[in-house]
């Protein structure tokens, strides 16, 4: 599936990230492929432990504890998997930036916000001290921090949660990255603040022509923000497509379940749907479809035979043996929206 109208900036092919001993590894990310176009916002959705955060960190080569990354991560014609630390460092923060989930703990509590922005500029630009300061103010201004000029000498604890997330975004933007990796950037925030931050990311992506991979567990966030969406489960992709397609016409039983669990047009006091069971442990994944244990339409072959991602229409991939059954089971409700 190609993102046709825009140039591809990141092309991930058969990404596989493992931890632990080589003989019996824990596979956190398994055969994941996707592309991100210029200025595009891709949502990476899944429950905790589905491998979405590890996927992001694998791209930058900062997974911890140290794991093993295989496959290809093509960035401007270079394969990031093959780059050494020193050369990766020139891409990290400069061409590809990342922001984290916890604004409370992701900023160094002992250093001023100004310093934390400017150390990026020191590492990635040739600006002198005065220009760096000006740029830092400009960045804080850009992400909507009031009175930016007077806040450079403030410490992270002097900002609210939402403001800290803005600071983190300002830091990430310091050297005009072409791709922003956002790891659940709004999960720790209040709903109203969440909205503001998402709008900010959207606006920045549009104005700066910056691509974004937005990791989230919240289909609502995806619907609001993303151009395309990739649904992950148990370290594998189950469905990839445009947001409109996936939200309005999901096909994979897991995507259908996720969407069903968002309350829409239901009478008050209707119990919320939730996917039965819990996400699988990485060491207990079946050889076949990862979702088979919790799938309402799983057949006998599902735990043993891995379904390949197959194209449905022009811009969508789904990996499931029982597409018809899934649609029948979840009913036409979603399709009607």
Q: Which helix (H) or strand (E) holds 68?
A: strand 68-75
Q: Which of residues 154-183 bind another protein (CB under 8 A)?
A: 155, 157, 168, 171-172, 181
3-state class (DSSP) for residue 181: strand
- For 154, phi then psi, to 5°, come to -85, 155
**Strand ranges of the sheet holding 8-19, from the earlier edge strand across to the other edge:** 26-37, 8-19, 68-75, 78-79
Site size for another protein, by CB under 8 A? 33
Residue whose CB is less far from another protein, 197 or 326: 197
Interface with another protein includes 68 (CB under 8 A)? Answer: no
Residue whose CB is less far from another protein, 6 or 89: 89
Select from 116-124, 225-233, 253-261, 324-332 the region that touches another protein (CB under 8 A): 116-124
The per-residue DSSP string of 119-179 comes to HHHHHH----HHHHHHHHHHHHHHTT-TTGGG-TT--GGGS-HHHHHHHHHHHHHTT--SE
Interface with another protein includes 123 (CB under 8 A)? Answer: yes
- Dist. CA 177–CA 107, nearest whole Å: 19
Residue whose CB is less far from another protein, 97 or 193: 97
Tokens of 225: 């923000």
Select from 83-91, 197-205, 307-315, 328-336 the region that touches another protein (CB under 8 A): 83-91
CB 283 within 8 A of CB 26: yes
Q: Which of residues 275-304 bind another protein (CB under 8 A)?
A: none
281: DSSP letter:
P
Interface with another protein includes 108 (CB under 8 A)? Answer: yes
Q: Of 7, 76, 90, 308, which lies in the binding site for another protein, with binding defined by CB under 8 A? A: 90
Tokens of 298: 């799983």
Interface with another protein includes 106 (CB under 8 A)? Answer: yes
Interface with another protein includes 39 (CB under 8 A)? Answer: no
- Angle, helices 161-173 vs 191-208, to 10°: value is 20
Residue whose CB is less far from another protein, 111 or 335: 111
For the CB of residue 113, give the shortest distance to another protein in the complex, in Å: 11
Select from 19-27, 102-110, 140-148, 267-275 the region that touches another protein (CB under 8 A): 102-110
For the CB of residue 139, give the shortest distance to another protein in the complex, in Å: 13
- Dist. CA 132–CA 36, nearest whole Å: 31
307: DSSP letter:
P
Q: Buried b / exposed e across 180-203, counting CB within 10 Å, b at 16+?
A: bbbbbbbebbeeebbebbbebbbe
Residue whose CB is less far from another protein, 40 or 183: 183
Interface with another protein includes 120 (CB under 8 A)? Answer: yes
Q: Of 89, 217, 306, 329, which lies in the binding site for another protein, with binding defined by CB under 8 A? A: 89
**Where along the sequence are the contacts to another protein (CB under 8 A)?**
60, 62, 64, 85, 88-94, 97-100, 102, 105-111, 119-120, 123-124, 155, 157, 168, 171-172, 181
């Amino acid at each position: 599936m190609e993102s046709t109208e825009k140039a591809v900036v990141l092309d991930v092919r058969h990404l596989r990230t493992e931890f632990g001993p080589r003989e019996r590894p824990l596979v956190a990310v398994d055969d994941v492929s996707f592309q991100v176009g210029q200025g595009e916002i891709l949502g990476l959705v899944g429950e905790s432990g589905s491998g979405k955060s590890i996927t992001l960190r694998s791209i930058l080569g900062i997974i911890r504890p140290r794991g093993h990354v295989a496959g290809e991560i093509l960035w401007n014609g270079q394969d990031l998997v093959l780059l050494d630390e020193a050369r990766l460092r020139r891409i990290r923060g400069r061409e590809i930036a990342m922001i984290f989930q916890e604004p409370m703990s992701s900023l160094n509590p002992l250093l001023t916000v100004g310093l934390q922005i400017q150390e990026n500029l020191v590492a990635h630009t040739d600006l002198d001290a005065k220009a760096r300061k000006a740029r830092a103010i400009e960045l804080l201004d850009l992400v909507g921090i009031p009175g930016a000029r007077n806040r450079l000498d403030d410490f992270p604890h002097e900002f609210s949660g939402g403001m800290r997330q803005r600071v983190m975004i300002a830091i990430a933007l310091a050297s005009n990255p072409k791709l922003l990796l956002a790891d659940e950037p709004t999960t720790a925030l209040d709903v109203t603040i969440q909205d503001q931050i998402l709008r900010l990311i959207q606006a920045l992506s549009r104005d700066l022509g910056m691509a974004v991979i937005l990791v989230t567990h919240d289909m609502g966030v995806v619907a609001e923000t993303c151009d395309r969406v990739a649904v992950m489960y148990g370290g594998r992709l189950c469905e990839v497509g445009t947001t409109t397609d996936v939200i309005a016409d999901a096909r994979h039983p897991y995507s259908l379940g996720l969407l069903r669990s968002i309350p829409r047009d239901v009478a008050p006091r209707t119990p919320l749907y939730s996917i039965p069971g819990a996400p699988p442990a990485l060491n207990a994944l079946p050889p076949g479809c990862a979702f088979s244990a919790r799938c309402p339409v799983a057949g006998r072959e599902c735990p043993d035979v891995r379904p390949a991602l197959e194209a449905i229409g022009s811009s969508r991939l789904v990996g499931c043996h029982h597409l018809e059954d899934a649609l029948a089971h979840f009913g036409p409700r979603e399709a009607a929206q």
